[in-house]
Amino acid sequence: MLKPPFVEDEIYHIYNRGVEKRNIFLDDKDYLRFIHDLFEFNDEEPALNIYYRLPQIKSYEVEPRKIEKTRIRKLLVEILVFTLMPNHFHLILKQKKEGGIVRFMQKLGTGYTMYFNQKYERVGSLFQGKFKAVHIEKESHFTHLPFYIHTNPLKNLGNSISKLEEYRWSSFPDYIGKKNFPSVTSRELFLDFFGGEEKYLEQTKQWIKERKNNFEKIKEITLE
């Protein structure tokens, strides 16, 4: 798939999977590391450190430590939506700087691969080639894609909306008002469009009921 040109303030569906469809997240620490990297690498400046809050804290808010409070982060992209699955990930990104998406994805892919290879004593590529990208320009894509990405875990969880609400490796809990990783995503655009957190939850439930038809409307920008 040829990548579209990346333009400031335009929105893109970004995704990739493990090489040979292998799992890229093997335990909770791997998911936490990737989500940390989503936050930390989204900056024009180099990542300074790695920090996770203690597991007993209910909210796994991702924040850097030992960084001056006066430091202003210069975002490469706005991360609007994310979902991580055992062998792939989905992102919706809005480019903020020229070349922002490419630079962000290079930092993310390289950083996480180095972590994974060192932890599991392996070498070589972790991801299936370069990341895939689709420009979100059709209204049907804009209105259906967030729900498609957020309901991706239902492939493993069944149709239980309660289990989806508890799925930590996604921005979905934050979209419905359950603090999970709120610093990672910029949610105002979609929440304003869909009418807020409560309505987003209700529309997600409706999307699940109608997802067979909804898949047909966005099939060209999914992994399937």
The pLDDT assigned to 35 comes to 96
Beta bridge mates, 79: 93
How does the average pLDDT of the chain come out, rounded? 86
Residue type for position 162: S
Token pair, residue 148, equals 């498609």
Looking at residue 122, its pLDDT comes to 94
What are the pLDDT digits (tens) for 167-219? Answer: 999 999 999 999 999 999 999 999 999 999 999 999 999 988 887 676 666 66
Please tell me whether the overall predicted TM-score, pTM, comes out greater than 0.85 for this model: yes
Q: Residue 142: what pLDDT?
A: 87
Tell how strand 11-17 and strand 88-95 pair up.
antiparallel
Q: How many residues does the chain have?
A: 224
Tokens for 215, please give them.
């898949």
Sheet strands side by side (includes 88-95): 77-85, 88-95, 11-17, 132-135
pLDDT, residue 155, reads 80
What is d(CA 51, CA 25) in angstroms, rounded to the nearest whole number?
18
How much is the pLDDT for 222?
Answer: 58
**What CATH number does domain 11-219 carry, 3.30.365.10, 3.40.50.1370, 3.40.50.300, 3.30.70.1290?**
3.30.70.1290
In angstroms, the CA 125 to CA 18 distance is 9
Residue 158: per-residue pLDDT: 73
Name residues of the chain where pLDDT drops below 70: 1-2, 47-71, 212, 214-224
Q: Contact 25/82 with Cβ under 8 angstroms?
A: no
Question: What's residue 151's pLDDT?
Answer: 93
- Domain extents for the chain? 11-219
What's the N-to-C CA distance of the chain in angstroms? 14
Q: How far apart are CA 211 and CA 207, in angstroms?
A: 5
